[in-house]
Each structure stands twice: as structure tokens, then as C-alpha cells.
Chain A
């Protein structure tokens, strides 16, 4: 399964990078969303996908059966942080539309006159 997941993660990264290289602001943010999905899945996969029980203590489950809880804790933190950043970024995009009247990154370019 880890092999398949590695390819899926690679695919997510590829799609994310491709979107980030486009010129529409909203597509760039979609790209960052995909990138964080890829990263979260990567952490999960690298922790190992084995284990038969969720990491909640239950009777009759031996310690080795639990899924590794540490990557899950790390991913939970990462999800919240990437959500905070994405929402900030989205509002920033919304304000940029309002002020600049465009979502084309090529038009938002700093030129020699104003840098």
C-alpha cells in the first residue's frame, strides 16, 4: 500500500506545482491546498500504514496493534496551521480583487517604476 501511496503523493505534488505555476490567483491557492494534502498523506504514509486498531486505548488490544499515533498528532497540527494560512491567503486574495480588480498574477507584477 505504501508504494501506491507514494505514487499518489507524487501525483498530488505534481498537480499542486502545476497549478501554482499558473497565472490565476485562485488556482495558485488551490495548488497550495493540494500541496498540503500531499504533505499530510506523506507524513501518514511514512509513519507506516500497518496496525489494526485506531490509537484509542481499548480492552483486548495489544500495544503493537495500535496505529502509530505520533504522525497523526503531527498531521492534526499541520492541518490546523495550513487551514489558518489558507484562510488568510483567501481573504488576502479577496482583498486583492477588491483593490486591484484582477486575479491575474502577471498583472500584479512589480515593475521598475513601483518597486
Chain B
């Protein structure tokens, strides 16, 4: 049980934050918050031995048992790795934020509540076994990310960025929900573990590809893959601790987690492999290429995050290939899954530290514009050292963790060329080539980031603040991360054994039964010049040359037109959906009552006539008809004549009199068709109605008293004719097919014996069906009260209103 409650620990802690902020404002609220991730981190560390053995921990919290909804926390190697990242980097980010955010100027209670909410959401995502609860936590990450990006809500850019990330990630989240629902229909279970155990049967299901594509949409939007990466650069408006935490180390990896978690189910599909690998690789290239165009430190880091996420994504795709290769665990294919997780750890560590450095530079100089920065090396030596360690790791230079994962990445990409499944052949060569080019650009932007900020000429006149080294508290977190970067290089196999192997065993259960089966030995030097090492050296040489000449060719980026960009596409889509919907409703919502009546009558005709035709419902039966008498014909003529007079009348008075004539003919019909009560009522009511019509006519405003005929409109005529024809057809066919006899025999037989009355209609009204009458009385009463109120109540007659107009 405790595991499930640990997920909610940050959320529970969040409840007390506003209180602590108000009552203990002298102490920075962050110090209280710091306890939570530290406790969680230590607890999750104690679980490492369990997952090392291949064990797993499950703990369930029942929520809505009647629909099988439960929150199931489930820790295996993969979720433990993510939980450690979330709590560990979470702790460092909270520590950093204590020094980054001012306790007097900032609304810290908001910040930490959002941050803790996010922590719960993220832990929930990575530990959920139940797909629906996974979705719930997934959306909670979107919401808390939205709140954190819009933290400085008085700025336009913050609100824009928050909305954009919300739109894109929630779009993906909803798609993913669709995929989950399909999956649970296919497998008849919500549990991810049970779905994985049914993987072979699922693959033959007709929904399989749909579920695959929908779930991938969720993963791609969250992990900022092409073309959904556009929200990430705009999310850089968030406070830097948020960028470091959410937008480099944790939330953007939720999509990677999703892909890794579902690889055992979808690895059987070629679509999955090529989509994940292809999109990942393209994103890797795209992100690294455009990172050099950025002028903002955090912009560079955002694009580099996009690119590195693409790298991990492509490795996850390659790890799924292992499913199709014989003895994959013995060949170079084993590197793909390992490299993905290894780089995921590396990236979280170095990118976190780089964001913190960007925040420090911003904090101490007042700008993040790389054109104004430079020569900070001697002023901020510690920051420079940390930035250099992070950047070199990102570039893949030896002595730093990134080198090892870059090597394995190239190994995995080279392995794809030998992978001849799904008729790849020559196309396979594209993968290492694109990967190599992207790595060259990665090398350049890493150097661009660190050297254009810290080396070169110092320009104090351009900086809003006088630059100096950051306070020691702010440097603790990035320094710890930087130390980790180097540590990973020297003890890769220790990290591999304890953290990476259990996760790899979870991703590739088709290759390994337990984490101890993963035999990947990471080494910085393999004893000979391997192809990947040659490629790395090539990266250093070409990358170094291109960085040397960066000033000469960086301008060519300006040649890329701003008008043709994905951001512009997004803006136009938003504008079109907003403005388009507006214009669309402006077209049909005319405000004329006639238009709306035309729609209603038009649809009435369409629906009733098409039903009549399509169901062959029209019938015409001449039996059981009443005889036609002379008086009936006379009255029909009177009624039709009266109606024609109404239509043709020039004067409205004539129309009113003719309406009276029609009403009296109806009363005569009632007489002829033996309905005395109806005839009485109809006569009286028609008289009153005509009097009322005359009253309304008398009070017509003078200006519009000009008498004119109804101007004939073909459209109106057609609609009216259509309604008339439809009603006639319905009446004829309804009369022609009576299925059951009337129940009136009962009334006729029992009216005297049961109710003691002779007038059957009246007995029905007050005895058999007295309820109708009661409420008909109520209708009359309400109409009377309404009329009185309308006449007596004159609230709008105020002088001031007319003056305003």
C-alpha cells in the first residue's frame, strides 16, 4: 500500500504550502518543500536491490471497483529509474529554486504547490499499471506544466507559451486515451502488465494499428517530437527551475517512458519500429540543426532537448527491432535498448545542470541573449566549469558521460544497416548518416552554448547588471549534477548494472528474462579503432572546423523564411479555427427569425420525407373511409377560401377577419363531425382570439401601418409547399395503417357504469384523464399572470438609458 501513498505524498505536502508561506514567511518556503523529494529519493534508493534481482513491487489503491478503476503503483526497473530521476532532480531543482526565486517578490506558495502537484503527477505516470490512471496522471502533468509555464502570468509570452503547450500536449493526451481504450478493449483488461502478457494475441487484432498510432501521438506530443516540438521553445518562458525540471529532465521524458513501456506490446509491428526510429531520428537532426539559429540561451537548450529526445526515441525504436532479430541479445543489437536508457540518464543529468547555468547567467547578468554575453569565464569561473562539463557531455567528448552514450548510439545506428527485415536494404544506410550529421551539429551547438557565453570579449556595456559569480547556494545543484556527469564516465558499468539493466529488462522482455541477463559492457576504449570511434573522431574534426567558422555561415540561417514554419502553421491553425468558427457561425446565425425557421422547416421536410422514402413507409389505403357529404364539401371550400384570403389579403384587418372565418369553419367541422363540446369551445375561443387580434392590430405603430401584401418569395413558397405536402403524406399514410384498435371502446362502455356520467368527452376530461385538465388550467393561469405582468411591469423605461444611446 505504501507505494501508492508515496505517489500522493507531494500532493499532500502541497496542501500545507500556503499555510507555511503565510505563517513562516521569514523562512524560504522551498526549505520545507525540499524534504519531500529527498525522502522519496532515499526511499526509492532502497528499492534498487529488488529490481536488480528482477523483482517488482505492486501496490493497489482501489478507486471505483465497479468499473475496475484502481490506482496501481507498480515498480520495476523502468519505473524505478524514472522515479529516481523525478525525486532526485526534483530535490536539486527545489534546492536551486530556493536561491533563484526571491522570497519577498515571488508568489512562492503558488510555485511550490504547482511543482509538488507536478511531482505527484509524474510519479503517477511512471508507476501506474492501470492505463486509465496513467492517463489521469498524464493530464495532471499537462495541467501543472501549464500552470508553471504561466507562472509569471502578467507577461503575454508566458500565457501564450502556457496555452500552446497545453493545446498540443492535451491533444496528444486525448489521442493517447483513445489508444488506451482500444488497447483495453482488445485485451479486455486495463492492466499494462496483463496487456504485455497478451502481446502476441493483441498483434492480430483489427484495432492494433489504431491503438499504436494513437498512443504514439500521445508520446510524440509530450516528448516534443517532430512536428509537435514547437511548444517546447515557447515553454521557456517558465522560471528556469521549471525549465530544468519539467522541460529537460522529467516531463518531456514521459513520452519516452510511454514508448519504452509499450515496446513489449508493439515491438512486433514494423509500423512502430519505423515510426519511432524515423521520427526520433528526424527530430534529432531537426532540433540540432535549428539550435544554432537560436539567440536565447534557453532557446538553444530547448532545441537541444528536442534533439536529444529524438536521439533517445530513435534508440527506443531500434531496441524494438531486437524483437525481430535472432539472438539479438548476443549481437550489437543489444546496445540499442541499453544506450536509450543510458543516454536518458545522462541527458537528465547534464541538461538539468545546463539549464541551471543558463538561469544563473540570466540571474547574474540580466540577459539570456547570447549576442550580448561573452567573456564571463573569468567573472564566473565556477559556472563556466559546470557549463563546460555539461556541454562537453552533450557534445559527446571523452571523460564525460555523454561520450559513452554517443558511442553506443552510433553502434546501434550502424547495427540498423545490417538489419534487413522489412526490406530495408539501401535505406538503412540513411540512419547512421543522419545520426552522424546530427551529432556534428550537436557538437557545434554545445560549443556555441558554452563558448559564446563564457569565452570571447566581455561586453559590460550591453549587460543590464554587473556580472559576478552566483551565490554558492545556487551553484550547489548544478555542481552536484556536473560531478555526476563525470562520475558516470568513470563508473558506467556500476550505473549500468544497478539502474540501466533492470530498466532494459523491462523494455525488452523478449530478449532478457531478468536484469542479470543483460550483458552490455560499457567501455570508453575498446582496445582498437572501432567504426563508431572513427565516426566520433570525424564528428570532432568536422564539428571543430565548423565551429571555428561559425560566424561566417551562421547568417545563412536567416535565409530560412519565418513565414514557412511550424510555429506559423500553429498560429494560423489557431487563428483559422477561432476566426473560422466565428465566421461560420456569423454566416448562418443571421439574427433573422426567418432564417432559423427556414432551417427548422427545411430539416423537418428533409428528415420526414427521407424517412418516408427510405423506409418505404408511405401507404395509401382506401378502405375504412367516412363518406363524403355535401355540407362537408361546402365547409372545406369555406375553409380553403378563408385561408386563401389570409394569404392574399393586402390589409392585415382582412387577414384577421379571414382567420376568424377559418376558425368558425373549423367549429362547423366539429359540429358536422359530431363534437359538440369542441364546437362550443372553438366558437367562444375564436371570438376572443379575433378580439385580441383586433386589439393588437389597433395598436400597430403608425410608421408600419402602411398596408402591403406579403411579397412573394420563391424560397418561402417552396418551404411552405414542402411542409404542406409532407404533412399531407404523413396524414394519408398514418390513416392508412392503423395497427391497433382504439382504446376508446373502454370509455364508451364504462362511462356510465364506472364514472356515472353521460358526456363521454367531459368524463374523460375530468375523470379518466383529469390530470391533463389540471395542468391545462395551470397553463391558462400562467398565461393570465404573464399577461398582467407584461402590462404592469415597466422596468426598462428609464431616462438614462436613452441618453446613452
Indicate the member of A13, A51, A69 with the most B CB atoms within 10 Å. A69
A60 at interface by CB-CB < 8 Å: no
Pick the interface stretch among B106-114, B218-226, B699-707.
B699-707
Contact between A19 and B647, CB atoms less than 8 A apart:
yes
B779: A residues at CB distance < 8 A = 80-81, 84-85
Q: Are B689 and A83 in contact (CB under 8 A)?
A: yes
Q: Does B238 contact A (CB under 8 A)?
A: no
Which A residues are within 8 Å of any B CB, using their own CB?
Answer: 1-15, 17-24, 26-30, 33-34, 37-38, 40-42, 44-58, 63, 66-70, 72-73, 75-77, 79-81, 83-88, 90-95, 97-99, 101-106, 108-111, 115
Does the CB pair A76–B628 fall under 8 Å?
A: no
Q: Report yes or no: A45 in contact with B731, Cβ–Cβ below 8 A.
A: yes
With contacts A54-B675, A81-B776 taken as known, whether A30 is within 8 angstroms of B697 at the C-beta atoms is no
**Contact residue among B636, B674, B695, B745 (Cβ-Cβ distance under 8 Å from A4):** B636
Q: Are B674 and A10 in contact (CB under 8 A)?
A: no
Whether B796 sits at the interface, judged by CB under 8 Å, is yes
Sorting the interface of chain B by its residue count into under 10, 10 to 19, 20 to 34 or 35 or more gives 35 or more
A-B contact pairs, 13 of them (CB 8 A): A1-B627, A15-B643, A15-B646, A17-B724, A18-B647, A28-B593, A30-B646, A44-B670, A50-B624, A72-B761, A84-B783, A92-B790, A104-B704
A31 to chain B, nearest CB (A): 9
Q: Are B772 and A77 in contact (CB under 8 A)?
A: yes
Q: A13 to B790, Cβ gap below 8 A?
A: no
| Contact partner, A21, options B591, B594, B727, B772, Cβ 8 Å | B594
Known: A22-B710, A57-B752, A69-B760. A33 touches B689 (CB 8 A): yes
Collect the chain A residues with CB atoms within 8 Å of residue B719's CB.
17-18, 21
Q: Is B652 an interface residue (CB 8 A)?
A: yes
Q: Does B720 contact A (CB under 8 A)?
A: yes
- Residues from chain A with Cβ under 8 Å of B636 in the complex: 4-5, 8
Closest 3 A-B residue pairs measured CB to CB?
A: A14-B724, A10-B728, A18-B720
**Provided the pairs A1-B628, A72-B678, A87-B689 are in contact, do residues A27 and B742 lie with their beta carbons within 8 angstroms?**
no
Docked pose: A102 CA to B772 CA in angstroms: 38
Q: Are B744 and A26 in contact (CB under 8 A)?
A: no
Given A33-B659, A49-B673, decide whether A26 and B696 contact each other with a Cβ distance below 8 A. yes
Contact check: which of B656, B723, B735 meets A6 at CB < 8 Å?
B735
Q: B721 an interface residue at 8 Å Cβ cutoff?
A: yes
- The answer to whether the Cβ of B693 comes within 8 Å of any Cβ in the partner chain is yes
Question: B581 to nearest A CB, angstroms?
Answer: 15
Flag if A13 contacts B723 (CB, 8 Å): yes
Across the interface, B728 reaches (CB within 8 A) one of A7, A94, A102, A106, namely A7
Does B570 interact with chain A (Cβ within 8 Å)?
Answer: no
Task: Report which of B674, B734, B751 forms a contact with A57, defined as CB distance below 8 A.
Answer: B751
Are A69 and B761 neighbours in the complex by a CB distance under 8 Å?
yes
Q: In the bound complex, do residue B628 and residue A4 qualify as a contact, i.e. CB atoms below 8 Å apart?
A: yes
Cβ of B559 < 8 Å from any Cβ of A?
no
Q: Would A3 and B745 count as touching, CB distance under 8 A?
A: no
Is A90 touching B749 in the complex (CB atoms < 8 A)?
no
Q: How far is the CB of B307 from chain A (nearest CB, A)?
A: 47
Residue of A nearest to B676 (CB): A54
Residue of B nearest to A98 (CB): B699
Taking a contact as CB atoms closer than 8 A, the residue among B693, B699, B782, B787 that contacts A30 in the complex is B693
State whether A73 touches B769 (Cβ < 8 A): yes
Residues of A within 8 A of B720 (CB): 14-15, 17-18, 21
Task: Decide if A83 touches B685 in the complex (CB within 8 Å).
Answer: yes
Assess whether B678 is in contact with A76, with CB atoms less than 8 Å apart.
yes
Contacts of A40 in B (CB 8 A): 666
User: Considering the chains assembled together, what is the distance between the CA atoms of A3 and B509 in angstroms?
Assistant: 77
Interface of A is mostly: helix
Question: Chain A CB within 10 Å — which of B695, B748, B779 has the most?
Answer: B748
Interface membership of chain B positions 627-652, coded 1 if the CB is closer than 8 angstroms to chain A and 0 otherwise: 11100110010011001101100001
A94 and B695 CA atoms in complex are apart in Å by: 8
Q: Does B598 make an interface contact (CB < 8 A)?
A: yes
Q: A49-B626, A66-B760, A73-B764 are in contact. Are A56 and B676 (CB under 8 A)?
A: yes
- State which of B590, B703, B759 has its C-beta within 8 Å of the C-beta of A56: B759
A9 with B731: in contact, given A50-B624, A81-B779 (CB under 8 Å)?
yes
Within the complex, what minimum Cβ distance (angstroms) separates A23 from chain B? 7
B769 / chain A contacts, CB cutoff of 8 Å: 73
Q: Does B625 interact with chain A (Cβ within 8 Å)? A: yes
B796 touches A24 (CB 8 A): no
Per-position binary interface string of chain B over residues 564-595, scored 1 when its CB falls under 8 Å from any chain A CB and 0 otherwise: 00000000000000000000000000111110
- Give B693's nearest chain A residue, CB to CB: A90
Which residues of A are found within 8 Å of B625, using beta-carbon distances?
1-3
Which residue of the partner chain B has the closest CB to A39?
B727
Does B677 count as interface, using CB distance less than 8 angstroms?
A: yes
The reply on B716 being an interface residue by CB < 8 A is yes
For residue B739, CB closer than 8 A to chain A, the reply is no
User: B688 contacts A37, CB within 8 Å?
Assistant: no
**Could you tell me the distance in whole angstroms from the C-beta of A42 to the nearest C-beta in chain B?**
6
Contact A72 B675 (CB under 8 A): yes
- Minimum CB–CB distance from B692 to chain A (whole Å) comes to 5
A93 to chain B, nearest CB (A): 5
Chain B residues within 8 Å of A87, by CB: 688-689, 692, 783, 787
Query: Is the pair B681, A99 in contact by a Cβ cutoff of 8 Å?
Result: no
When distances are taken between beta carbons in the complex, the residues of chain A under 8 Å from B758 are 56-58
Say which residue of B593, B659, B787, B796 sits within 8 Å of A88 (CB atoms): B787
A110 to chain B, nearest CB (A): 5
A27 touches B652 (CB 8 A): yes
User: What are the residues of chain A within 8 A of B682 when measuring CB–CB?
Assistant: 79
Interface pair B652/A13, CB less than 8 Å apart: no
